[in-house]
Structure 1
Amino acid sequence: MTDGRIVLGGSSGFMGTYLARRYRAAGREVVTISRSGADLTWGDEEGIAAAVDGAALVIGLAGKSVNCRYTPENRAEIFRSREDTTAALGRAIAAAKRPPALWVNSSTATIYRHAEDRPMTESGGELGTGFSVEVAKAWERTLFAEDLPATRRVALRSAIVLGDGGVFGTLRTLARFGLAGAQHDGWWPVSRARRDAGTAHFPGARRGRQRFSWVHIEDVARIIDFLEEHPELEGPVNAASPHPVDNVAFMAAVRRVLGVRFGLPTPRWMLEIGAMLIRTETELILKSRWVLPERLADAGFDFRWPELDGALRDIARP
């Protein structure tokens, strides 16, 4: 880990809270930006500009969670929250007399298509279609929109991040109720409105064979450290373990780690009803995300948690 001030946009979320704590424990100055409870708010353009000027690293994580129903209002806010906050960081960097050497901004591995045939890499991956993909594309367009010759930019295409909280907290709850079995895709009626909005999920992998790409939260932090130390890396970078699994294997690993002997498989119709009740979308667990970290591997990055069982055991330990 290098030295110098870090400006952390989107500091109140799962990843931002972890990074702020980690960097401060290492003795680095951290200036946080969030809607509330941070050093600066997104409306404070002068404060953001002052923080960015002379900083070593800017990290952008802000954006409304996609763990919601894709109503027109939520879809608009998902786009706006990512584009506006990323543009605010871009303007501050463009105006800086001493611009940061590196700007790492969140993106998502969801930018790639539903993949059952082969893994997606930065060089050979195919971008998908639909609402979630368009969000990711817009996020990256905003990141690279400004002319910033002195600042290297990385779009961190993250897989599902596993840590103490987030997705794993939900899985722990499901396991307690015997529901930590595989999630099975299948037919479900799709309205014209969903087709038009790009939010329809059509049947894909069957019997829990959709691929599940993941990454330990500590390795995401270590990837950002690695990016600081490797100036040859810029543009899209996949942040995903080199050993993805399918949904059946993932849920089996969750049960092993939590000491749960049985988990009922969940069919599509049950998932859809549950998603409506808890106000989320089934795409988050039914889309086959098969992503490999080609550029990190080629640059020599060494994952601390490359295997799923070890990563889950680290997260689940008291």
Structure 2
Amino acid sequence: MKQLKIVIVGGNGFLGRHLGLHFQQRGYRVVTIGRTVAPGPDSVRWDTRTLGPWAAELEGADVLVNLAGRTVDCRYNEANKRQIIASRVESTRVLGQAVAACAVPPKVWLNSSTATIYADTQGAQPANTEASGRIGTGFSVVVATAWEQAFRDCLTPRTRQVALRTSIVLGRDGGAFPVMARLARLGLCTPQGTGQQWVSWLHIQDFCRAVEFLATETEEAGAFNVCAPNPLTNRDFNTLLCHELRPLLRLPQPKWLLEIGAFLLRTETELILKSRKVYPQRLLELGFDFTFSTCEAAVKDLLPLQS
């Protein structure tokens, strides 16, 4: 019996490492494509822009997942903006060329997008679903819409295409959560700004399970919100961290102080102040069952190994 194969582009990062292990445990041959090569025969280098020997790995693959893209954790100056957009659009375009050239192309291609494509959603406004969500404005939305347009422009009639509008993914060994927990221990587990902005999130286990579900349990295509079904406010999220970590001090975090901190850390306050209220309607309608549907359960699972 032929071994199933998944190709993960950008597979050396936090999400890619977890996704590779998840599919490896399910018997897949996991091939990673990245700008650096990891130890072992199934790691291939590419430059993110041009076709090369790496493209042969797509031939006959069962699943292709593209996670490539420059980090947005930086100052939004013009040079960084260009690099952020180009890293996503160019990598998606060249993957489309590689898939189109395959004699036996991948059965399904899941391409990263982001839940920040939706508008800043305040208060009691309904959460954004794939069907009724409001597309927002600003740089993060420009990035997301350009990314998804590049994906849609790829002509791959024999390969099902799925755009992953992923929220903040929480894990104990990468992404934003370890930083959040470390700052919370120092007393920074208070509302950031008003604290009324919504936080859409997802446990790393459910991210991997959702990718597997969309790759193997459905024939649906298009955009999917990949987030837990229960967003919460920034105030409530920080209250969870405070309850679990019990710091000696609780330091206020007004917007003006966050702006100074973001400048010193070479990042942007939008990453914590934009209100992201997103609901995974399509996943739930298809029967996907979240292991961690509440943030309280996710935080309790992730924090014990933080100490």
Which residue in the other structure is 1:215 paired with? 202
Instruction: Give 1:261 deviation, angstroms.
Output: 6.0
Give CA deviations for 1:210-251 in whole Å, capped at 9, x if unaligned: 111101111010001111223332100000111110000001
When the two structures are superposed, what TM-score results if normalisation uses the length of structure 1?
0.89
Q: Is the aligned partner of 1:42 residue 2:29?
A: no
> Does residue 104 of structure 2 align to residue 98 of structure 1?
yes
Deviations for 1:34-82, whole angstroms, at most 9, x for unmatched residues?
1112422223733232100100000000101101111111111101111
Q: Which blocks of at least 5 consecutive residues in structure 2 are unaligned?
A: none
SS at match of 1:94: helix
Paired letter, 2:5: R
1:167 aligns with 2:176: yes
Task: Determine which of 143, 154, 161 is the counterpart of 1:146.
Answer: 154
Mapped partners of 2:216, 2:25: distance in 1: 19
Specify the code of the residue in structure 2 equivalent to 1:41: R
SS of structure 2 residue aligned to 1:64 = coil
Aligned residues: CA RMSD: 1.5
Do the aligned residues in 2 keep the contact of 1:109 with 1:238 (CA within 8 Å)?
yes
Identity of aligned residues (%): 44
Shift in alpha-carbon separation, 1:49–1:232, aligned structure 2, 3 A? same
Deviation at 1:147, TM superposition (A): 1.5
User: Any conservation in 2 of the 1:180–1:262 contact (CA below 8 Å)?
Assistant: no
Q: Quick check: 284-293 or 137-146, which moved more? A: 137-146
CA distance 1:128–1:3, shift in 2 (3 Å): farther
Match of 2:32 in 1: 32
SS across alignment from 1:215: strand
Query: Structure 1: where are the runs of 5+ without partners?
Result: 185-206
What is the letter of the counterpart of residue 227 of structure 1? L
Number of the residue aligned with 1:12: 12
2:64 to 58, 65, 71: 58
CA contact (8 A) 1:178 1:262 kept: yes
- Aligned equivalents of 1:24 and 1:299: distance in 2? 25
Secondary structure of 2:259's partner? Answer: helix
Is the 8 Å Cα contact of residues 257 and 309 (structure 1) preserved in structure 2?
no
Residue 127 of structure 1 aligns to a residue whose secondary structure is coil
Q: 1:49 to 1:37 in 2, by over 3 A?
A: closer
Aligned counterpart for 1:120 among listed residues 109, 113, 128: 128
Does the CA contact (< 8 Å) of 2:186 and 2:247 recur in 1? Answer: no
How far apart, CA to CA, are the structure 1 residues paired with 2:58 and 2:216? 19
CA contact (8 A) 2:231 2:278 kept: yes
